[in-house]
Structure 1
Amino acid sequence: MKTLFFEVLNTLVRLTHFETESARLIRDELNIRISLDELASQFRKEWEDRYNMLISKGVYRSLRQLARETMISLLRKYSLSLSPAELDYFGNAISSLIVETSELYPDVIEAINALSQMSISMYILTNLDNDVAKKILLRNNLLRHFKGVVSSDLTKVGKPAIKIFQAALNRAGVPPSDALIVSGLVEDVIGAKFLDLKVVFVRRVDVQLPVKPFYEINTLTQLPEIISKLT
């Protein structure tokens, strides 16, 4: 096994209080008179509905565009609308909150350090915007371990579309047989199957998998042992 492709979300980091902080930003900036919990719940639903719709259709949106569209649909409930400049502001601010609310899972440092000793090339493969992914890695002192970031805003297509996986393989210069996807997202398990790419699914959250991954692990510290068996 020559190359590992890591997702960021639900794999290396979780987002702590992202919806609450986004709701706080919206409420304070727009003076919406509603409880923070209720607004956070509404924001979460609009965000997830939009993201899941894009995933199911294989349609690409940058994170900032997803934030803009979430804002438009959320504010419709309050008969509010924003100018393009205001939507840009919230798109950037909400993207920044993804970085600020990211928190490393406790098993990441040990696992990445161990893998770094094994002379394996490691890349990031993510639906996050390139700059957001890099800022999360920088914030958590991980960027130096990865040879590059393959992101949906650069490939103009998101997981589970085949094109983003092909772009990752091209970037690393390896065939599918020499690569392994490490992810806690269902999108990777689905998309990788089309190219016969092996996926190690990291069960960070309780989700139903429509197809069986190559491996399933509960902690990233199991990964070096799996890699050593494959090489």
Structure 2
Amino acid sequence: MKTLFFEVLNTLVRLTHFEVESAKLIKDELNIKVSLDELTNQFKKEWEDRYNMLISKGVYRSLRQLARETMISLLKKYSLSLSPAELDYFGNAISSLVVETSELYPDVVNAIDTLSQMNIPMYILTNLDNDVAKKILLKNNLLRYFKGVVSSDLTKVGKPAIKIFQAALNRAGVSPSDALIVSGLIEDVIGAKFLDLKVVFVRRTNVQLPVKPFYEIDSLTQLPEIISKLT
């Protein structure tokens, strides 16, 4: 019996209009005199640059801290700065927008329900903060299917670092050979290789993978069949 570890982002949910909603919030609160399009593009660039830099260095940041740092570098572009309390406010507000803009992929409910009926143990393994991941699952009526959430803010290390994968295996009490990572994120494919963990990569976005995953699927509906072959 394989134990499954699901990423949340680009796997179970996508974020719809996250950058636009974040830019709207910043523009309204701080009265920045630029177009919403420009602010959205600038926010998206700062957010992605910071996240990719953290991933490449294997450095941990909570989602709120990532939001704070994005705000600091974004506002420098407009010669603005905020107090620590204001940065905390935006850190929390932007984290809330991650939850609010999350939308289930259409194949998720059927696949998760089928796997649940097969009595397959399922956990969440994510770089999202624990409360954010749980709120996304609750909002989309999925939390009840998962035995636990292993998140980077609890392990104080993020994917692709080995330690977060080891924490997940320890939490579930399984060896790498009995686990399967299900994810649409490149950092899972990279990190899992170090522990010989098998990854089922869900192709939600058009990314180039530096290493080959164990399986690649277009839809989570293909997952139950893969699992039944392995058990």
What SS does the corresponding residue of 2:153 show, helix, strand or coil?
helix
The one-letter code matched in structure 1 to 2:26 is: I
CA RMSD of aligned residues (A): 0.4
Q: Is the 8 A contact 2:60 2:158 kept in 1?
A: yes
1:81-96 pair list within 5 angstroms = 81-96=81-96
Q: Percent identity?
A: 90
Alpha-carbon separation, structure 2, partners of 1:37 and 1:79: 19
The equivalent residue for 1:29 is 29
Q: Is the 8 A contact 2:198 2:213 kept in 1?
A: yes
Deviations 1:69-119 (A, max 9, x none): 000000001110000000000000000000000000000000000000111
The equivalent residue for 1:15 is 15
The equivalent residue for 1:143 is 143
Alpha-carbon separation, structure 2, partners of 1:35 and 1:108: 36
What SS does the corresponding residue of 1:213 show, helix, strand or coil?
coil
The equivalent residue for 1:221 is 221
The equivalent residue for 2:107 is 107
TM-score by length of 2: 1.00
Shift of 1:2: 2.6
TM-score by length of 1: 1.00
Alpha-carbon separation, structure 2, partners of 1:204 and 1:2: 23
The equivalent residue for 2:59 is 59
> What residue ranges of structure 1 are gaps of 5+ in the alignment?
none
Shift of 1:38: 0.9
1:114-133 pair list within 5 angstroms = 114-133=114-133
Alpha-carbon separation, structure 2, partners of 1:211 and 1:118: 30
> What residue ranges of structure 2 are gaps of 5+ in the alignment?
none
Give the paired residue count: 231
The one-letter code matched in structure 1 to 2:194 is: F
Alpha-carbon separation, structure 1, partners of 2:165 and 2:37: 37
The equivalent residue for 1:4 is 4
